[in-house]
Structures are given as structure tokens and as C-alpha cells.
Amino acid sequence: MIPRSQPSVQSTDGDSGHWQAQLRQSTMTAAQLLAKLQIEPSPALAARGQDQFPLRVPPAFLARIRRGDPHDPLLRQVLPLAAEDSENAGFSHDPVGEGAAQKQPGLLHKYHGRVLLTLTGACAIHCRYCFRRHFPYADANPARGAWQQTLDYLRADTSITEVILSGGDPLALTDARLAAMAADLAAISHLKRLRIHSRLPVVLPERITAELLDWLTASRLKPVLVVHSNHANEIGPEAVAALQRLYRSGIQLLNQAVLLAGVNDNARALIDLSETLFENNVLPYYLHMLDAVAGAAHFNVSDAAAGELLEQLRTRLPGYLVPRLVREVSGEPYKTPLL
Ligand SMILES: *Cc1c(COP(=O)(O)O)cnc(C)c1O
Ligand code: SF4
């Protein structure tokens, strides 16, 4: 194992100031986004859905979108299309039954041994396919007041060995708050692992600060970071550097992607994603079928098409670079494999 870097007390303020400044420079309207990308506005490229789930694109992600191409696979993930406004049978506001799995504000206990905490509703990027776009975060946030109650719940159930920090994006919180939470969790002796699900290493690589690496690697809990990347084009030089800092700190890196029509629903894109991830020491973990969330039907890929894609990946890649194709089915004891 490569030794940890020096404690970073000297550089911390600069670090966090930098990622927060980057975040403030996000593009927040479709008109601005299209202008920056030199794309002509058109009726198909503007949805009312923006009112409840506004557009948000951080600078590093913007830099990875091709200029002048309305069909760019990264653009499609963030641009509210008019198609969002259409009603589609079977697409609802709580597609994976999170309501029932919520045992306390922001605490989801759905699978054996693992508890997922939705720490914040904030994200650095707003992904149009996101199933959390309708989630009532304001009342579902253990970081806001219910933290002692969360710790009590975790202490009382010794079958829990892993806590998953999720959101929103948990890395939207400051390192000071996350470090304090991690310390509280590490004091619960039956916990073994601390897992973070975040899109920030890829979409806001500046977020991978020395402070973050410090508290994460100082913990007794084994750290796992599941990055969310859907397309190899997302992984530019800054993301490569961020992933390298994480890897060198000894953090287990996995990726989860969502299978999205018009973004990554072809074998070439999925193979490139797996290859690029592995070059950066990230193992493909899950490839999720889209959750049937209202406003995202235009991203849907059929089971038959998904199965064929997976078959092509299996034919072309080593087994460890083939992600598990899964779907979230409410009431099931694990994420359900499609094949
Ligand atoms: C996805 C998920 C997990 C983690 O499942 P793994 O199969 O361990 O990755 C845990 N809790 C909830 C509520 C989840 O949605
Ligand atoms: S929770 Fe994840 S998928 Fe949803 S908007 Fe935030 S970053 Fe995107």
C-alpha cells in the first residue's frame, strides 16, 4: 500500500474554497448552456420540468461536452428535453419504493447488513434521469437534526456492517461535517465499511481534496467509493487525476452507471467506459436499468436490448470488466439481476 500523504492542514482552506468556487460557476439555465455550447435553441430542447428540477452543470462536466452537437451523450444527461413533460404509463414519482424502506428521516434500510443515508438533496450536477428528482429531501435528511437518532438505529442493529453515504451527493457536504459523521460511525463497533456513492470525482474533480482523503483514510472503517460515470467522455484529465489521488490513498474504487438511451446504449460506449474506468483503477460494478421515474421515459432501454448489449460485453471483455446488469425492484432482498 502506498503511504498516506502528509496531513494537509496547511492547504485545506484553499482546497475547499476552490471546489466551492467551481460549484458556484455551474451553468444554471438551458439558454446559457446552449449558448456556451454554440447550439441553436429549439422547441425540442426546452422542458417545463426545469421548474421543479432545474438545470445544473458544473464547469468540469461542461468542458467535456462537444461544442455544436445537440446529440452529445453528456449533454443529453443534463439538458431538459421537451420529452420530459410527457406523461408515460408506469413512470411514477417513487419508482423504487423508497418510501417504505425509509425507517427514519433519510435512513433507508432495505438490504441485509447495509444502511443507506441520504445526507443531502444537493448535487453538483442535475441528471435528468435521476430517480431522486422527486424525492422529498427536505424531510428526509439525517444530517439535519436526526443524526443522534440515526446513530441510535445503527447501534441497535448489530447485523449492520456497512453504512452507505448517499444523497443527493454526499460529497456536496463539507469535509468538516463528513469527517465528524465518519468519526461517529467508526465508534460503532459492528460497522466495518463506509461506502460513498458520488458523481463528484468525475463531474467536479476539484472536490477530491487532501482533507477528504485525510478523513476517509484515517477512519477505522474500510472506505469504498462508488463513482457514478455513464460515459467515457466524462473522464477528462482532471477526473483522471482525482481518481489517481483516491487510488493512491488506498480507497477501493467501483463504478455504477445507468443504461440510458441516446447516452450509452451501444456496445462501443459501454466497452469504452469499462476500459477507461479500469485504466483509472475503477472496477465496473453495476449497470442499472433506468428507474421508471416520471419525466425520464425518453431514456428507457428495453430489457431485450439491454440483454443483447450485455451479451456483447461478455463476448468482448474480461469478466471483471462486465458490470452487473440490475434493476431495483421494491420488496426484493437485493438488486435484481436482469439475466
Ligand atoms: C443500492 C442500495 C444499497 C446497496 O446495495 P449493494 O447491492 O450493496 O450495492 C443499499 N441500500 C439501498 C437502499 C440501496 O438502494
Ligand atoms: S443523485 Fe446522482 S444521478 Fe441524481 S442528480 Fe444527483 S448526481 Fe445526478
pLDDT at position 6, please? 37
Annotated ligand binding at 127? The verdict is yes
Domain-embedded: residue 134: yes
Q: Name the pLDDT band for 33 (thresholds 50, 70, 90).
A: very high
Q: Is the pLDDT of residue 186 over 90?
A: yes
Instruction: State mean pLDDT over 135-148.
Output: 69
pLDDT at position 145, please? 76
Q: Is the pLDDT of residue 286 over 70?
A: yes
Nearest CA to ligand 1 atom 1: 335
pLDDT at position 97, please? 65
Contact 199 CB / ligand 2 (< 6 Å): yes
Helix pair angle (147-156, 175-186), 10° resolution? 30
pLDDT at position 2, please? 39
Domain-embedded: residue 128: yes
> Which triple of cell numbers denotes residue 256?
455504477
pLDDT at position 50, please? 65
Contact 127 CB / ligand 2 (< 6 Å): yes
d(CA 284, CA 271): 11
Q: Is the pLDDT of residue 133 over 90?
A: no
Instruction: State mean pLDDT over 173-200.
Output: 97
pTM for this predicted structure: 0.92
Query: What are the residues whose beta carbons fall under 8 Å from the beta carbon of 123, sequence distance 6 or more?
Result: 56, 130, 167, 168, 169, 172, 199
Q: Is the pLDDT of residue 325 over 90?
A: yes
Instruction: State mean pLDDT over 279-288.
Output: 98
* Ligand 1: nearest atom to the Cα of 335: 7
Domain-embedded: residue 51: no
β-strands 283-288, 252-258 pairing: parallel
Q: Is the pLDDT of residue 8 over 50?
A: no
Instruction: Report CA(5)–ligand 2 centroid distance (Å).
Output: 30
Q: DSSP H helical segments within the chain, as ranges?
A: 12-24, 30-36, 59-62, 75-78, 98-101, 147-156, 175-186, 200-203, 210-218, 237-248, 267-279, 303-316
Q: How wide is the angle at C-alpha 336 spanned by C-alphas 168 and 142, nearest 5°?
A: 25
Tell me if 230 sits within 8 A of 263, measured CB to CB. Answer: yes
Instruction: Report CA(149)–ligand 2 centroid distance (Å).
Output: 26
Q: Name the pLDDT band for 5 (thresholds 50, 70, 90).
A: very low
Which H or E run includes 253? strand 252-258
Domain-embedded: residue 12: no
Please tell me the number of the ligand nearest to residue 172's CA.
2
Q: Is the pLDDT of residue 11 over 60?
A: no
Query: What are the residues whose beta carbons fall under 8 Å from the beta carbon of 35, sequence distance 6 or more?
Result: none
Annotated ligand binding at 130? The verdict is yes
Answer with the residue of higher pLDDT: 257 or 103. Answer: 257
Q: 209: domain range?
A: 99-337
Contact 169 CB / ligand 2 (< 6 Å): yes
Percentage, residues of the chain above pLDDT 70 = 89
Q: Which of 53, 61, 50 is closest to 22 using CA atoms?
A: 61
Q: Name the pLDDT band for 144 (thresholds 50, 70, 90).
A: low
pLDDT at position 134, please? 64
d(CA 251, CA 216): 8
Domain-embedded: residue 310: yes
Q: Is the pLDDT of residue 141 over 80?
A: no
Instruction: Report CA(27)–ligand 1 centroid distance (Å).
Output: 31
pLDDT (tens digit, 9 = 90+) per residue, 72-113?
999 999 999 888 888 887 887 766 667 778 888 899 999 999
pLDDT, averaged across the chain: 90
Q: Is the pLDDT of residue 52 over 50?
A: yes
pLDDT at position 12, please? 45
Instruction: Report CA(66)–ligand 1 centroid distance (Å).
Output: 33
Nearest CA to ligand 2 atom 1: 168
Please tell me the number of the ligand nearest to residue 255's CA.
1
Instruction: State mean pLDDT over 121-146.
Output: 76
pLDDT at position 14, please? 56
- Which of 100-114, 123-137, 307-321 shows the lowest per-residue confidence on average (mean pLDDT)? 123-137
pLDDT at position 140, please? 60
Which of 50, 117, 132, 258 most suits a substitution to test ligand 2, by most atoms within 8 Å of the C-beta?
A: 132
pLDDT at position 137, please? 53
Percentage, residues of the chain above pLDDT 90 = 74
CATH classification of the domain holding 276: 3.20.20.70
> Which triple of cell numbers denotes residue 15?
482546497
Domain count across the chain: 1
Instruction: Report CA(3)–ligand 1 centroid distance (Å).
Output: 31
Residues framing ligand 1 (Cβ under 6 A): 101, 108, 110-111, 114, 116, 164, 334-335
d(CA 213, CA 199): 16
Instruction: State mean pLDDT over 113-124.
Output: 94
* Ligand 1: nearest atom to the Cα of 286: 9
pLDDT (tens digit, 9 = 90+) per residue, 196-252?
999 999 999 999 999 999 999 999 999 999 999 999 999 999 999 999 999 999 999
Instruction: Report CA(188)–ligand 2 centroid distance (Å).
Output: 29
